Chain A
């Protein structure tokens, strides 16, 4: 079956580093996305990984291990505005069609 797991909630302190994990089991794999979603707003794209390794983009980095079905999003120098939900999404195959399958999201709260 298709399954994406990520923690429901995390908390961290302003200025700190936080790692949000995502494990997945999907039929086929065509890439993994991370999106940020503030409450009541649209998801916005953060990163895309299709090969193993680390992709760095400013304060945010994303890692992928395809053999382990595992990814993480690393947020450095946390700011209050980073309080949001972070959605892991895998492009897999469902019913012979390329599909983007979302996890339920990790709600991150950043405290002063």
Chain B
């Protein structure tokens, strides 16, 4: 089954404790992206990657890091989480060919709470 998976689905952590949210897709998509979703603000892009070893900042990259060492994986790293990073996080992927017309496939989401 074609899908995007994220782990963990739920996480409660404390300020300053480094964490990684994993994202993996099995569709051989070149493009991958991380979003956060907050009430009243909609989906905002954190980072995206056009291919292996190619990453770039989205609209709200502060406090986050990413890496793309393999095509299928795109982990999101919070080196020192803070309470304002409490949010619902989505990973998404899409093919690059004919990029503009392709919808993004979203993972199930990771609900992160930082206390």
CA distance A48 to B101 in the complex (A): 7
Q: Does B45 contact A (CB under 8 A)?
A: yes
Residues of A within 8 A of B59 (CB): 94
Q: Does B84 contact A (CB under 8 A)?
A: no
- Minimum CB–CB distance for A4 against chain B, Å: 8
Given contacts A41-B108, A42-B109, A104-B41, contact A97 B101 (CB under 8 A): no
CA distance A43 to B48 in the complex (A): 17
Which residue, B35, B100, B107, B108, has most C-beta atoms of chain A within 10 A?
A: B100
Which residue, A41, A43, A94, A102, has most C-beta atoms of chain B within 10 A?
A: A43
CA distance A91 to B94 in the complex (A): 13
Please state if A45 and B99 are interface contacts (CB–CB under 8 Å).
Answer: no
Q: Which A residues lie at the B interface, using CB under 8 A?
A: 30-31, 33, 35, 40-45, 48, 50, 87, 89, 91, 94, 97-100, 102-105
Q: Which B residues lie at the A interface, using CB under 8 A?
A: 35, 40-45, 56, 59, 88, 90, 99-101, 103-109, 111
Given A42-B90, A102-B43, A104-B41: 11 more A-B contacts, CB < 8 Å: A31-B101, A33-B103, A40-B109, A41-B109, A45-B104, A48-B101, A89-B43, A100-B104, A102-B35, A102-B44, A104-B40
